Every structure is written in C-alpha cells, then in structure tokens.
Structure 1
Amino acid sequence: MDDDVRAQSVLGAVLRDLGASWSDVEPLTGGSVNHTVRVRRSAGADVVVRIPVDPLRVDEYPVEAWASAAAERAGITVARVLRHGRHGGTPFLVAEYVEPDPRPITEPWRQLGAAARAIGTIALVGAPPSLYSRFGTDPATAWRAHVAYNVRSLDGADPLLQAGAYTSASSLREVFEPLGARAFEHGLAHGDLAPRNLLSRGPDATPVVIDWGAAEVGPTPWTDARRVYAWTHLDGEVSGSEFDAFTAAAGLDGPGDRRMLRAMTALHLVDVTRWARERRPDRYREYVEACRRGLRRLGLSD
C-alpha cells in the first residue's frame, strides 16, 4: 500500500473514533518522522494525531506515552498522550493539542540544556523494556556491554570496515575504550531535544516539552548532549554559541567534556550502522555513507 494511502486509512479510522471528520483536520509541519495533524473538535479539546511516515519504523508510541507521563510526574510540562494503538498494523498516537504562545522562548538552548538535566533525574520505575538497549535493564552494566561489543567488533574482518564506514579499527578502539571505563550517571534521555520540540507558553513560563518518541536510557545528560553535538559538528544545524548554551545549562562544559561527546558521537555513528546492516539492510548503504562522512568530520577517518 502506498504510504500516503496507508496514513490516510489510519487517520480515517482515528477520526471515526474521535467523532470527527476530514473537515476538522489541519496538517501540522515541522517533522519528517511522522505524519502529524491537528484535529479540531466541537465537543472536547483539540488533539494531535501522529502516524509514522516509515511503515517499517518500530512503534515508538508506547515509549512516548510512558516517558511523557513520567516527565509530567517529575514536574516537567508536557503534552499528554491520550491514546495510542494500531490500525491495520500501523501505529498511531493521539495527544492533547497545546496552543503555542506566539511570543518566542527566551534562550531556548539554555532551556533545553536545563531540561536534559531534569529529564535525567526521572525515576525509571515501570519503564518499558524498549527504553533500554539490548544489553539489559541495568543501565551501567548495559552501557559497558554496549561499548565492549562495539570495541570487539572493530577488527580486520568487520563488514563495516570492508564497506568503507571507517578506515582504522585501532584508532576507533582508542577512542571507544575510555567510554567503557568512565563512571557515568545513567537515566532517561529525551532523544530529540531541539527547539522544534519546545512549545512556548510565553516569555515568563517554562515551555512545553513534546515528542518523547525517541526517549531512551543511557548516560545522562550525555545522551541528549551527544545529539546536540552531532547537530553542531556534523550537520551544522546548531551554532557554536547555541551548543555552548546547551552544554553549560546541562553541566557539561568541563575541559574534557567535548572530547567525551566526540567519542560518544563516533560510537553512535558506528553502532547505528551496524544496527542497519542487521535490521534495516534496505538503508545500510545510507548509514555507511553517513558514518563515513561523520567520522571524517570528527577527524577520525581518512
């Protein structure tokens, strides 16, 4: 089935359940992972409906529902998830609609860095298994196993080396090994802390943190900071001053912290490429090229 037709079919079913019609639907912009619409309701508050663009994408909505609810219990302002499920095998999510204040958020990157620190303190009691890596639900043990797995995989027979994802196994080993030796704090990470996921409630109010579908457990606030590091140093989407504001508010502005974030970014590039080879062969070449480019920009590949 064509992806647009699939999404239309799912949205139609959700609209029927909501007692709404197609005339009540307003497309929302800003994301590439989900089809996102606002549904205006005469009876009841407006809601947002999201449906994944990629039909093979793992259902992230149970994670989003748990993480956003846990964040709200911890005092973080969120858009509540009202319902999630599947229609014809395709996931969907319904959340409350928050009308953004037209006035801009003051110092958004500082707000995001502070959010990263707060999110890392959220209790993980009752967290769904999918928040954790394949190495188990003890975060510190799982992190060390994650690093060790990637270090062991770096050898002359590594398919990623043969494919050109990286050029020197020994150089990457030297970068990765200290990550397994360091004693990090571990906890929840939002996974996509960017201004697009902050909704303004006015200049004097704490903004709403939305879109928790990429949440995961890992070193904190390092996991969220690693994403911002990549947007700054690999993609050029975030300026140096914005990155500095984030890391200062997150408490990661020490002399060795950028070196650690560089190493984590390199580890992530290699690890997700290995994941793509095993789980998404249709996108493997895309990940190989992204890994090659990223490591080159980090100065870790020819």
Structure 2
Amino acid sequence: MDDVARALEIAASLGVEGIRAEALPGGNQNHVVRVRSVDDDIVVRFARAPERSGDPFDVEAWCLRATARSGVRTSDLVARGRLEGLSYLVASYVPGEPAAPEDLQGWEAIGEFTSALRGISTRDAPDALFSRFGRDLDAAWEQHLVYNLASLEPDDPLISLGVYPRSRRCELRDVVVSVSTRKLPQGVIHGDAAHRNLLRDGGIYTVIDWGAASVGPVMWGDLERIFRWHRLGDKESPVSDAAWECVLEGAGLSRTEAEPVVRDLAAVHALDVVRWAIDIRPDRLDEIVADSRDVLAAMIFTPERSRS
C-alpha cells in the first residue's frame, strides 16, 4: 500500500472520508499526506522506515497541545493512534507556504517563537521528551555537563577519532566549565527551527514539525543550532548574516550577548553527539565525527577566539 492510500485508510478510521489526498514534501523521517473532505482538511504523518513504526508520536502530540496552550501558533492536534500496528499522528492542515531563506520577517518570527517557548511547562510531558538524566531539567542539564567534562580525559577516544587535537583538550574543558557557570533557563527546544518549518500565510507565520523536540537551555538550544547553520553555511538550512541578525532581534538579544553563549553550546553539542554516536549509532560515526570537527573549527579553534 502506498503512502497516500495508507493515509486515506487512517483518515477513514477517524471518520474522515477523504475526497482528495496528496503527499507533501519535506518529510525526512515520516510520510506526510494532506487529506481533504467536505468538512475536514488534515495532515496525516506516519514513519517511513518500518523500524520506526512503533514510534507513538508522544512527544510531537504533547508539543502540539502544549504550544497551543502557550499561544504559539502551530497546527492543532487532531488524533494520535495506531492502525494495524502503525503509529500515526494527525494534525490540522495549516495554509501557507514554507518561508523562504531570504524572508527576514520570517527569521524574526523564529526568534520570537524560540523566546516564547520559555513559557511552556514540562510538568505533564512524556518521558520521551527528556534526556537520560531525568525529568528534573536543571539537574539533568548539570549532569549532562558533568558527563561531558569528565569525558575530556587524556585518553578521550575523540582525540584518536580526530574530533579535536590533544593540544586543545584543556581549552575544551574550559568551554564546558564556562557553560556550567551560565544560568541558562531549561525548557522545551523545537530542535529544527528552520525556515522550512515555518509556514507563511500573508503576514502570519506558523511553526510546524516537532519531530526533533527535546529539553535543554530554552531558546538557547534553538539559537545554537541556527547559529551553527549560519557559521557552517548549511545548504539545507541557509542562514545569512542578515537572517541571523533578525533571529536575534526577534529573541530580544544582541550579537555580543548571544554569540559567546551559542559558540560554547555548539562545542558541547559537537562533543556530546560523537559520544552518543559511539554508544548508539556507530553506523553514523564517521559522518558525525566530520561534522563535529567542522563545528569546533568554526566555533572554538578560530584565530579571533585565540586572541580574545
């Protein structure tokens, strides 16, 4: 059964007799199909890979409900369930087109959106949203940093993998310590706050796709990823200098306030994700090592930072 036929089957199980259905672009992990009837206009999502079919979409469903309560514009949750063992999520269709990379007003809206996430409580969030360090967000963040600091030992396997040279180990320890001294509020992070996940309908912007949501330094985690795209010239998520300025304006920050924080957070992420790959995804290790090496070169091992 193809993805459109399966989406129609899911819709029918919910009482929506689709008279028109079309696959939508942009779903890397899930099939995304718009289904329309006389009374309904919905988007049905389910996993592309059979091994992901057990994913119950708990995090995405919770994020849709939580952000709606907070006033952030996103799609409405219609249903989450299973059909013949296949997990699915159904949301309302949001009119509009993905914002263009050069849409500066859209980037400002993303900055405003990441800042607004600070108002979301995680009290009733599913366990899948949280890291391995538990539901206490402040304690989990502290343990995350303690783990990454303790891992920067002389025999760190990241050195032999070429993620960073041994001569820079103490410098990276200083970065992790610097992050630990910052009082960063913890909360929900969208995880993929890119132009392609922002729909524009006239002057109205709506954020979609919560598949990468997690917890961490709220707004800072999203800003760090956007800055990474900017500094590394990411082709899938291009962020110009003007776009980055607009993101910061929307978040109510200046470059001098934001960039020291996001540079250090990017370094911690670059180290941590390699350790994750070693333990969980060795099939992706080479790719992640190369990416992390680039991040550290762009964020930490720079002439201007060495002079500061």
TM-score by length of 2: 0.85
TM superposition shift of 1:60: 7.1
- Which residue number in structure 1 is paired with residue 269 of structure 2? 268
Report the CA distance between 1:103 and its aligned residue.
Answer: 10
The yes-or-no answer on 1:196 pairing with 2:190 is no
Partner residue of 2:33? 37
Contact 1:186 1:219 in 2 (8 A): yes
Q: Is the 8 A contact 1:10 1:87 kept in 2?
A: no
* CA shift for structure 1 position 23: 7.3
The answer to whether residue 124 in structure 2 is matched with residue 134 in structure 1 is no
In 1, distance between residues paired with 2:172 and 2:49?
A: 32
Letter in 1 for 2:195: P
The change in CA–CA distance for 1:201 and 1:78 in structure 2 (over 3 A counts) is: same
SS in 1 for 2:170: helix
Quote the sequence identity (%). 37
CA 101–22 in structure 1, closer or farther in 2 if over 3 Å, else same = closer
In structure 2, the partner of 1:180 is: 180
2:122 counterpart letter in structure 1? L
Partners of 2:195 and 2:5 in 1: how far apart? 31
Residue in structure 2 matched with residue 93 of structure 1 by the alignment: 89
Q: Secondary structure at the match of 1:120?
A: helix
**Residue 8 to residue 75, structure 1, CA distance change in 2 (3 Å):** closer
Contact conserved, 1:276 with 1:283, CA < 8 A, in 2? yes
d(CA) in 2 for partners of 1:28 and 1:191?
21
Q: Are the counterparts in 2 of residues 101 and 202 from structure 1 also a CA contact under 8 Å?
A: no
What RMSD over aligned residues (CA atoms) do the two structures have, in Å? 2.9
* Count of residue pairs the alignment pairs up: 295
How big is the shift at 1:69?
A: 0.7
Match of 1:72 among 64, 68, 75: 68
TM-score, length-normalised on structure 1?
A: 0.86
1:84, distance to aligned residue in structure 2 (A): 2.2
8 Å CA contact 2:4, 2:22 repeated in 1: no
Q: Which amino acid aligns with 1:281?
A: P
- 2:160 maps to amino acid: Q
Change in CA separation of 1:161 and 1:77 when aligned onto 2, cut-off 3 Å: same
Letter in 2 for 1:51: F
C-alpha distance in 2 between matches for 1:11 and 1:223 = 33
Cα 1:21/1:233, change in 2 over 3 Å = same
Q: Distance in 2 between matches of 1:265 and 1:118?
A: 22
Structure 1 residues 129, 6: CA separation in 2 closer, same or farther (over 3 Å shift)? farther
CA distance in 1, matches of 2:93, 2:255: 39
Change in Cα spacing, 1:149 to 1:171, as seen in structure 2 (3 Å) is same
Farther off after superposition, 238-247 or 227-236: 227-236
Counterpart-to-counterpart distance in 1, 2:8 and 2:98: 31
Give the counterpart letter for 1:246 in structure 2: V
Aligned to 1:259: 260
Judge conservation of contact 2:104–2:246 (CA < 8 Å) in 1: no
Structure 2: which 5+ residue stretches go unaligned?
304-308
Report what 2:242 is aligned to: 241
- SS across alignment from 2:165: coil
Q: How many angstroms apart in 1 are the aligned matches of 2:98 and 2:51?
A: 36
On the 8 A contact 2:198/2:208 being kept in 1, the answer is: yes
Contact 1:61 1:84 in 2 (8 A): yes
